[in-house]
Amino acid sequence: MAALLEVKNLTVRYEPRLHRPLDAVRDVSFTIEEGGFVGLIGESGSGKSTLGDALLRLTTRPGRIAAGEILFDGHDLTAMTEDELRPYRWRDIATVFQSSMNALNPVVRVEDQFRDAIELHSPLRGGAVRERVRELFDMVMIEHRFIRAYPHELSGGMRQRVNLALALANHPRFVLLDEPTTGLDVVVQRSILDAVRTLQRQQGFSVLFISHDMGTVLELSDRILVMYAGKIVEEHTSADLLRRPLHPYSKGLMGSYGDPRAETVRLTYVPGRPPDLALELTGCPFAPRCPEAIGVCVESAPELLPLGDARVACHVAHAASEPGAVQPPRRFAGPEFVKTAEETREARDHDVLLQLENVSRHYRVRSNLRFITTAAVESASFELRRGAVTALVGQSGSGKSTLAKLITGVEGPTSGAITFHSDGGPLDVGSMRARQLRQYRRQVQMVFQDPYSSLNPTKTLRYILSRPLRNYHGLRGDALSRSIEQLLEKVALTPVSRYLNRYPHELSGGQRQRVVIARALAADPKLIVADEPISSLDVSIRAEILELLHGLVADDGVTILYITHDLLSARMIADQIVVLKDGRVVETGDALDVIQHPQDDYTRLLLDAIPNPFETAAATPPARAVTPAPAG
Amino acid sequence: MRYFLRRIGFFLATLWAAVTLNFIIPRLQPGDPAEIMYKKLAGKDAELDPAKIQALRVMLGDPAGASIWDQYWNYFGALGRGEFGVSYTYFPYDVTAVIGKALPWTVILVGITLILSFLIGTVLGAFAAWRRNSRFDSVVTLGSTFIGTLPAFWLALLILFLLGYVLGWFPTSGGYDSSMPGWNLDFIADAAYHSFLPAAVLMIVGPIGWILGMRNTMIMNLGEDYVRLARAKGVPDRQIALRYAARNALLPSVTGLALALGSLLGGQILIEQVFDYPGVGRLMGQAISNKDYPLLQALLLFTIVGVLLANLIADMIYGILDPRARKASS
Contact A129, A115 (CB under 8 A): yes
Whether residue A1 is predicted with pLDDT greater than 60 in this model: the reply is no
At residue A279, the 3 state secondary structure works out as coil
Contact A305, A311 (CB under 8 A): yes
- Could you tell me which residue, A236 or B324, shows the higher pLDDT? A236
Alpha carbon distance B198, B272 (integer Å) = 7
Tell me the domain boundaries of chain B.
96-328
Whether residue B57 is predicted with pLDDT greater than 80 in this model: the reply is no
| pLDDT tens string A303-339 | 999 998 899 999 999 999 888 888 888 888 888 898 8
Least confident range from A124-138, A221-235, A526-540, A587-601: namely A526-540
Rounded CA Rg of chain B = 24
| pLDDT tens string B138-154 | 999 999 999 988 888 88
The mean per-residue pLDDT over the stretch A29-53 comes to 92
So what's the pLDDT on residue A99? 62
Q: What is the DSSP string of B28-95?
A: HSSS-HHHHHHHHHH-TTPPP-HHHHHHHHHHTT--TT--HHHHHHHHHHHHHHT---B-STTTTSBH
So what's the pLDDT on residue A347? 85
Alpha carbon distance A38, A35 (integer Å) = 10
The mean per-residue pLDDT over the stretch A129-147 comes to 93
- Could you tell me which residue, A587 or A45, shows the higher pLDDT? A587
Alpha carbon distance A491, A510 (integer Å) = 11
Nearest to A496 by CA among A486, A504, A511: A486
Whether residue A25 is predicted with pLDDT greater than 50 in this model: the reply is yes
Q: Which long-range contacts (CB under 8 A, 24 or more apart) does A615-623 make?
A: A616/A218, A616/A219, A616/A238, A616/A239, A617/A218, A617/A238, A617/A239, A617/A242, A617/A243, A620/A239, A621/A239, A622/A237, A622/A239, A622/A240, A622/A243, A623/A237, A623/A240, A623/A309
So what's the pLDDT on residue B329? 46
**Contacting residues for A526 by C-beta, under 8 A, at least 6 apart:** A353, A386, A422, A443, A444, A558, A559
Task: Nearest chain B residue to A82 by CA: give it.
Answer: B234
Give residue A627's pLDDT band: very low, low, confident or very high (50, 70, 90).
Answer: very low
Contact B325, B319 (CB under 8 A): yes
How many of the other CB atoms lie within 10 Å of CB of B291? 13
- Could you tell me which residue, A427 or B27, shows the higher pLDDT? A427
CB contact under 8 A, A105 and B235: no
| pLDDT tens string A249-263 | 999 988 888 778 888
So what's the pLDDT on residue B266? 65
- CA–CA distances in Å: residue A393 to residues A416, A579, A584, B3: 21, 5, 11, 39
| pLDDT tens string A400-449 | 889 999 999 888 899 999 999 988 888 898 888 888 888 888 899 988 87
At residue A577, the 3 state secondary structure works out as strand
Containing H/E element for A370?
strand A370-385
Of A87, A103, A107, the CB nearest to B321: A107
- How, if at all, do strands A93-96 and A559-564 pair? unpaired
Q: Is A56 on the interface with B (CB under 8 A)?
A: yes
Least confident range from A74-78, A185-189, A544-548: namely A185-189
Containing H/E element for A64?
strand A63-72
Alpha carbon distance A39, A217 (integer Å) = 6
Task: Nearest chain B residue to A113 by CA: give it.
Answer: B230
Containing H/E element for A350?
none
Helix residue ranges, H only, chain B:
2-28, 33-42, 50-59, 68-81, 95-130, 135-149, 152-159, 185-222, 225-233, 237-239, 247-263, 269-274, 280-289, 293-321, 323-328
Whether residue B94 is predicted with pLDDT greater than 60 in this model: the reply is yes
CA dihedral A470, A475, A479, A485 (to 10 degrees): -20
Least confident range from A399-408, B24-33, B102-111: namely B24-33
The mean per-residue pLDDT over the stretch A109-115 comes to 93
Q: What is the ipTM of this complex?
A: 0.79
The mean per-residue pLDDT over the stretch B252-257 comes to 87
User: Position B310: which residue type?
Assistant: A
Whether residue A537 is predicted with pLDDT greater than 90 in this model: the reply is no
CB contact under 8 A, B228 and A100: no
Identify which of A209-223, A530-544, A606-620 has the greatest average pLDDT.
Answer: A209-223
Of A86, A93, A97, the CB nearest to B229: A97
Alpha carbon distance A382, A35 (integer Å) = 50
**Contacting residues for A114 by C-beta, under 8 A, at least 6 apart:** A129, A132, A133, A136, A165, A166, A169
So what's the pLDDT on residue B143? 93
| pLDDT tens string A363-385 | 887 766 677 888 889 999 999 99
CB contact under 8 A, A106 and B322: yes
Length of chain A: 632
- Could you tell me which residue, B121 or B103, shows the higher pLDDT? B121
Nearest to A415 by CA among A449, A373, A466, A457: A373
| pLDDT tens string A455-468 | 888 999 999 999 99
Whether residue A543 is predicted with pLDDT greater than 80 in this model: the reply is yes
Alpha carbon distance A564, A536 (integer Å) = 12
CB contact under 8 A, B225 and A102: yes
Of B225, B233, B322, the CB nearest to A107: B322
Whether residue A624 is predicted with pLDDT greater than 60 in this model: the reply is no
Of A85, A88, A152, the CB nearest to B323: A152
Domains of chain A: residue spans and CATH: 3-105+167-244 (3.40.50.300), 106-166 (no CATH), 347-609 (3.40.50.300)
The mean per-residue pLDDT over the stretch A469-490 comes to 90
Give residue B32's pLDDT band: very low, low, confident or very high (50, 70, 90).
Answer: low
At residue A405, the 3 state secondary structure works out as helix
Number of H helices, E strands in chain A: 23, 24
For the purposes of burial, counting CB atoms within 10 Å of the CB of A389, is it exposed (0-12), middle (13-18) or buried (19 or more)? buried
CB contact under 8 A, A106 and B232: no
CB contact under 8 A, A86 and B234: yes
Tally of CA atoms within 13 A in the half-sphere of A14 that contains its CB: 15
Alpha carbon distance B11, B312 (integer Å) = 6
The mean per-residue pLDDT over the stretch A389-401 comes to 89
Contact A94, A170 (CB under 8 A): yes
Alpha carbon distance B212, B209 (integer Å) = 5
Give residue A471's pLDDT band: very low, low, confident or very high (50, 70, 90).
Answer: confident
**What is the least distance, in Å, from the CA of A180 to any CA of chain B?**
13
Of B225, B321, B327, the CB nearest to A152: B327
**Chain B stretch 195-234, residues whose beta carbon is closer than 8 A to a beta carbon of chain A:** 224-226, 228-234
Length of chain B: 330
Least confident range from A264-278, A393-407, A437-451, B163-177: namely B163-177
3-class SS string, A462-509 = HHHHHHHHHHHHCCCHHHHHHHHHHHHHHCCCCCHHHHCCCCHHHCCH
- Could you tell me which residue, A499 or B60, shows the higher pLDDT? A499
Residues of B in contact with A121 (CB under 8 A): 234
Nearest to A304 by CA among A282, A287, A284: A284
How many of the other CB atoms lie within 10 Å of CB of B107? 16
B96-328 — its CATH code? Answer: 1.10.3720.10
Nearest to A277 by CA among A63, A435, A580, A515: A63
**What is the least distance, in Å, from the CA of B322 to any CA of chain A?**
6
- How, if at all, do strands A389-393 and A576-581 pair? parallel
Task: Nearest chain B residue to A154 by CA: give it.
Answer: B324
Whether residue B328 is predicted with pLDDT greater than 60 in this model: the reply is no
So what's the pLDDT on residue A538? 80
- CA–CA distances in Å: residue A237 to residues A175, A196, A226: 20, 19, 11
So what's the pLDDT on residue B59? 64
Of B232, B237, B248, the CB nearest to A106: B248
Give residue A632's pLDDT band: very low, low, confident or very high (50, 70, 90).
Answer: very low
CB contact under 8 A, B225 and A56: no
The mean per-residue pLDDT over the stretch A70-79 comes to 93
CB contact under 8 A, A106 and B324: yes
Give residue A390's pLDDT band: very low, low, confident or very high (50, 70, 90).
Answer: very high
How many of the other CB atoms lie within 10 Å of CB of A14? 20
- Could you tell me which residue, B37 or B231, shows the higher pLDDT? B231
